[in-house]
């Protein structure tokens, strides 16, 4: 019908739209949820507090998974031989992100979220460097107001 002789693509997404920003915003949410949980009273005595706690934990879990998924899609679908040759440490970095994401799901330690954010920022720098896009560090404009790596637009 179309008589196409040959087709090739660099990645699974033909539009080529990849952006580590979704992972960064997800991990910022994880940190915020951890902060909100840790601000709650040690002893939850009301049903409203218990409901809030349950929602925060559930959202922390979901956003940890979102951050991990966003990174693995870029790593698995976008990073090919040329990008890996430029950044051979990407595999170890992604593994570290996965481990931090699991720690964020398992516990309520802010430092686990901060470690995951730091690694995702490193991943973002690598990603943008493969596209020869300059980056800068900015403070996110909403709580938890932490530093993220963004492209210079």
Count the neighbouring beta carbons within 10 Å of the beta carbon of residue 68.
24
pLDDT of residue 3: 78
Count the neighbouring beta carbons within 10 Å of the beta carbon of residue 66.
18
- CATH number of the 21-39+48-151 domain: 1.20.120.400
pLDDT of residue 11: 55
Q: Where are the domains of the chain?
A: 21-39+48-151
pLDDT of residue 8: 54
- Residue in 29, 23, 21, 97 with CA at minimum distance from that of residue 58: 29
pLDDT surpassing 70 at residue 7: no
The whole-number average pLDDT for the span 43-68 is 97
The whole-number average pLDDT for the span 71-92 is 96
3-class DSSP assignment, residue 131? coil
The whole-number average pLDDT for the span 32-36 is 98
Q: In the beta sheet, which residues pair with residue 46?
A: none
In the chain, % of residues over pLDDT 70:
92
Q: Can you give the pTM of this predicted structure?
A: 0.91
142 burial type by CB count under 10 A (0-12 exposed, 13-18 middle, 19+ buried): exposed
20 burial type by CB count under 10 A (0-12 exposed, 13-18 middle, 19+ buried): buried
pLDDT of residue 1: 63
pLDDT of residue 17: 83
Q: Please, are residues 114 and 24 in contact by the beta-carbon 8 Å criterion? A: no
């Amino acid at each position: 019908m179309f008589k196409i002789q040959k087709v090739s693509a660099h990645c699974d997404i033909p539009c080529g739209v990849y952006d580590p920003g979704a992972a960064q915003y997800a991990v910022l949410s994880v940190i915020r949820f951890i902060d909100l949980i840790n601000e709650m009273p040690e002893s939850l005595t009301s049903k409203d507090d218990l409901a809030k706690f349950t929602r925060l934990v559930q959202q922390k879990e979901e956003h940890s998974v979102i951050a991990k998924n966003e990174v693995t899609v870029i790593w698995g679908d976008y990073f090919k031989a040329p990008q890996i040759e430029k950044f051979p440490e990407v595999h170890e970095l992604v593994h570290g992100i996965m481990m931090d994401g699991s720690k964020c799901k398992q516990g309520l330690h802010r430092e686990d979220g901060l470690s995951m954010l730091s690694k995702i920022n490193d991943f973002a720098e690598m990603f943008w460097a493969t596209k020869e896009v300059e980056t800068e560090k900015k403070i996110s404009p909403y709580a938890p107001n932490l530093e993220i790596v963004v492209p210079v637009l």
